[in-house]
Amino acid sequence: MSKRELKKYVAQLTKEQLEEQVLELYEKFSSVKVYYNFVFNPKEDTLLQEAKLKVTHEYFPVRNPSRKSKPRAKMRRSVAQKFIKHFILLGVDPFVVTDLMLYAIEIAQTFAAENPIKSETFYKSMFNSFEQATNYCIANGIYTDFKNRILAIAEETKTKKWQNRYDFETLIDKISIL
């Protein structure tokens, strides 16, 4: 069904029928419920803090008192990406989305500073996140608000001698030209 056909169908419905359908959608589909819950009670700060906590636990997992061994860091970029995608889909403020994007990279850098990482995919993945975050900032006209954090992330890759630090440098140079 096209959007045009949907508009035509909705225009035929009475107010009661429309209300009934919206309520049915709300009950039937969790994504609709999440959307309406966000629209009527945004609480972006709470969402951001929950997301940051889960991203942090990917790199610095909390020890379960009943276990003797220290839990291993999973370092999954996908956890942060899932939250970012969800935030964008909900229409969360770009400042909040960007904060999460940069936080995910910063926490990964903190972990990498304390733990040697041999995986080339980790560094490539962090660069992809960095590129996505800078492009998102530029696209939403908020680059100057996050410029210091972006430059600090790039500088950290130089300081810690990441194997792909030149990719970060090149991206910063391209942005500086804009």
User: How many domains does the structure of the chain reveal?
Assistant: 2
Domain that holds residue 110: 42-177
Q: Rounded distance, CA 133 to CA 149, Å?
A: 11
Overall size of the chain counted in residues: 178
148 and 166 fall within a common domain? yes
Residues 102, 168, 89, 60: is their CA dihedral positive or negative?
negative
Per-residue pLDDT tens digits for 63-99: 776 777 778 889 999 999 999 999 999 999 999 999 9
State the average pLDDT for the chain.
92
111 and 166 fall within a common domain? yes
64 and 121 fall within a common domain? yes
170 and 115 fall within a common domain? yes
Radius of gyration of the chain (CA): 21
Per-residue pLDDT tens digits for 9-44: 889 989 999 999 988 988 999 888 888 888 887 889
7 and 70 fall within a common domain? no
77 and 152 fall within a common domain? yes
- Cα angle at 132 between 35 and 98, to 5 degrees? 55
Q: Rounded distance, CA 122 to CA 128, Å?
A: 10
Mean pLDDT of 44-61: 94
Per-residue pLDDT tens digits for 118-166: 999 999 999 999 999 999 999 999 999 999 999 999 999 999 999 999 9
Q: State the maximum Cα–Cα separation within the chain, in Å, rounded to a whole number.
A: 65
72 and 55 fall within a common domain? yes
> What is the predicted pLDDT for the residue at 62?
85
Q: Is the pLDDT of residue 56 over 80?
A: yes
Listed in sequence order, the DSSP H helices in 1-142 are 3-12, 15-28, 30-40, 44-59, 77-90, 94-114, 120-139
- Name the pLDDT band for 178 (thresholds 50, 70, 90): low
